[in-house]
Amino acid sequence: MTWTTRTVSRMMVALTVAILIGSFVLVRPAGGQSSGESEAGLPPLIGDLLRGRTVILDPGHGGFDPGARGREAIESEINLAIALKLRTWFQMAGAHVLMTWDSPSDIEAGRKYRVRDRLSWINQQRADLLIDIHCNSGASAYRGPQTFYWSGAASYHLARAVQEELQYFTHTRREVKRIDQYVLRYAHMPAINVEVGFITNPEEERRLMDSRYQQDLTWYIFIGTERWLLKGRWPAELLDAPPPTDLLIRD
């Protein structure tokens, strides 16, 4: 691969966030505040990007609505498993994470059956961003994650940053697209829908059911979000620095 500025930028953000999260977990006293980013020798703004921000994760479907089906997989179950893993990354970075539902019993008992009710709950939370998680479906040869937005520069750039990470992770080439989807259209905050892959592609279905794959995939969604927040706030000399050699093994 060639080292484009974007590639280097992505690497640097991923590495720095990884170090931050590592130091966060190591130095954070139980139940207390982090002892500060300066100990990790990082630019202080990195640690502040998500701290105190409210992120809503919305696993698509749930309850009586299973969503799409693969040979074995049920979309709502995969959406929930992935959203729960994504929640962990955001929480590690200090974000306040809300989920529209976080267990099968939650939605069965809850008031968020209907997409309209779900949206009104979302808009009451005054969140900084919304990430919907879905699985795509189509012809069995279709594959690859794809990130959608409805309108607004913030949603577009968030979708771009996440999709670039997912392209990198999966070696696929689907591009960001606009979609007229009820939740995206009426959400009062930057909002994207990440279709994490095609449940109707047997190979991708198998991966989507794999816990390790889910974890890796959510890392890249998380890093894309960090990169979106970093836009324009990162010193140019750091973006232009050569990538650390220990990251070269990725390709």
Closer to Zn ion at the Cβ: 69 or 96?
Answer: 69
Question: Strand 177-178 to strand 146-149: parallel, antiparallel, or no bridges (unpaired)?
Answer: parallel
59 CB-contact burial (10 Å; exposed 0-12 / middle 13-18 / buried 19+): buried
Closer to Zn ion at the Cβ: 113 or 234?
Answer: 113
Q: Which 132-151 residues touch Zn ion, going by CB under 5 A? A: 134
Which amino acid is residue 38, in one-letter code?
S
Contact of 224 with 236, CB cutoff 8 Å: no
Which of these segments, 64-72, 80-88, 102-110, 146-154, binds Zn ion (CB under 5 A)? 64-72
> Does the footprint of Zn ion cover residue 67 (CB under 5 A)?
yes
List, as one string, the DSSP characters of 158-206.
HHHHHHHHHHHHHT-----EE---HHHHH-SS-EEEEEEEETTSHHHHH
Which of these segments, 1-9, 130-138, 179-187, 219-227, binds Zn ion (CB under 5 A)? 130-138
Closer to Zn ion at the Cβ: 134 or 227?
Answer: 134
Contact with Zn ion (CB under 5 A) among 47, 59, 60, 94: 60
Closer to Zn ion at the Cβ: 14 or 57?
Answer: 57
Residue 129, classed as helix, strand or coil, is: strand
Continuous segment of H or E residues that includes residue 38: none
Least distance from Zn ion to the Cβ atom of residue 119, Å: 15
Closer to Zn ion at the Cβ: 60 or 94?
Answer: 60
Q: How many chain residues interact with Zn ion (CB under 5 A)?
A: 3
Which of these segments, 66-74, 96-104, 124-132, 181-189, binds Zn ion (CB under 5 A)? 66-74
By beta carbon distance, the residue nearest Zn ion is 134
At how many degrees (to 10) do helices 211-230 and 75-92 cross?
Answer: 50
Least distance from Zn ion to the Cβ atom of residue 68, Å: 6
> Does the footprint of Zn ion cover residue 59 (CB under 5 A)?
no
Please give the Cα distance from 139 to 200 (Å, whole number): 7
Least distance from Zn ion to the Cβ atom of residue 215, Å: 21
Question: If we measure between CA atoms, which residue out of 89, 93, 10, 17 comes closest to residue 57?
Answer: 89
Which of these segments, 67-75, 96-104, 112-120, 198-206, binds Zn ion (CB under 5 A)? 67-75
Looking up tokens 């990169």, which residue turns up? 227
> Does the footprint of Zn ion cover residue 227 (CB under 5 A)?
no
Least distance from Zn ion to the Cβ atom of residue 70, Å: 12
Least distance from Zn ion to the Cβ atom of residue 61, Å: 6
E strands, the chain, are: 54-59, 96-99, 129-136, 146-149, 177-178, 191-198
> In the complex, which residues of this chain contact Zn ion (CB under 5 A)?
60, 67, 134
